[in-house]
Structure 1
Amino acid sequence: MGYTGRILVARTGKPFEDGNLLGGGNLFEGGSLLDEIDLGSGWRWAQLDGDARGALAALVAETGMPALWAYVMDSDVADVEALSPSGGGWHTYLHPDTAAEFGAPELDQSADEVLMRALAWSAEAGLVPDPEAVRALLTAHNTFAEETLGELLAALGINHG
């Protein structure tokens, strides 16, 4: 059985700790922090249980930086949403064939639009993306959706290390 929960990726400059990034407010209301990884350059990966409603928008507002999160279902598929301070954002499914098998609703954005918005999101974050790698990862299928998400982050310019 794989992981089911939310992964939040943001440039916070400090650990998520118990969700106390928002002036003492609990960022993870509705969920709790299971694991945290320092991705370098201030970027953090937080693995949560529960939903943490509003955390993505709150982090973007608090940090002034783009952020994304993914809801992972049994490590088979990830529903990814990204936001930026300028109001730009994108939404996609990693492992889209599996998402379709699970009956996920059709996305509002075409694959090309997701690619363009993801590249703009990356640029707004001050990152240097690899457009061809991003394009390939939007339709890739690894054993674990979390692995595909990690590869997508690297393609967007968030390099671990």
Structure 2
Amino acid sequence: MADDLTAHLSLLADVVKETGHPVLAAYIADSDYGRLAGSSPNSGLWHTWLDRRTAYAFERDHQVMAGLPKAAAVAHAQGLIQTTGLRPTEAARRVASWATDAGYHASATSIRQIIDLRRPPGISAWLRLPWARFVFAEEMFFAILDHLGVPRRPA
């Protein structure tokens, strides 16, 4: 996860250097979680998690399946999630700053609410229809784009 992140962030920084324009991108992992990253000449490079709790669970489970003892896998996953990516409040501020640099306007409050969305907890989530059980990471990304005012391409 960390090596891919470094490569993705490096690519964003290179695009901004070459074009002089802000860039926003998302990496979505099978709809379960993602990373939102942006860069602009004025506000610099930043990134955050889309559904950080699920990202933690996937990393923990990946480490266990790779042979790491569960306690070590938990520590590794916690360290990775806590040390990479901005927390929702700071990420929302950076997204709003990126929006200004890109010529859009966004409320940090509404962006924070999207970044901090959680899957419905508990057994009641399983009583919902399958498509209503989860918040998909790409839905979070498109909601952020909508709140930024980024126009969608016509179908």
Q: Which has the higher strand share?
A: 1
The offset of 1:130, in angstroms, is 2.9
Q: Distance in 1 between matches of 2:18 and 2:37?
A: 18
Structure 1 partner of 2:108:
131
Question: Closer, same or farther in 2 for the Cα pair 1:53/1:116, shift >3 Å?
Answer: closer
Q: State the identity %.
A: 33
Structure 2 unaligned regions, length at least 5: 1-6, 60-76, 119-133
Structure 2 partner of 1:83:
39
Q: Distance in 2 between matches of 1:57 and 1:96?
A: 23
Q: Distance in 2 between matches of 1:57 and 1:100?
A: 26
How does 1:1-161 map onto structure 2 within 5 Å?
A: 54-103=10-59, 105=80, 106=82, 107=84, 109-141=86-118, 142-160=134-152
Q: Distance in 2 between matches of 1:112 and 1:124?
A: 19
Q: Which has the higher helix share?
A: 2
Q: Distance in 2 between matches of 1:53 and 1:92?
A: 11
SS in 2 for 1:102: helix
How many matched pairs? 111
Q: Distance in 1 between matches of 2:109 and 2:43?
A: 24
Question: Normalising by structure 1, what TM-score?
Answer: 0.59
Q: Distance in 2 between matches of 1:112 and 1:54?
A: 24
Question: Which of the pair has more CA radius of gyration?
Answer: 2
- How big is each residue's C-alpha offset from its partner over 1:90-116, in whole Å with a ceiling of 9 and x where there is no partner? 211111221121235123533322121
Q: Distance in 2 between matches of 1:54 and 1:110?
A: 21
Residue 94 of structure 1 contacts residue 138 of structure 1 at CA under 8 Å; is this kept in 2? yes
Structure 2 partner of 1:40:
none
Equivalent residue letter for 2:35: D
Aligned-pair Cα RMSD in Å: 2.3
Structure 1 unaligned regions, length at least 5: 1-50
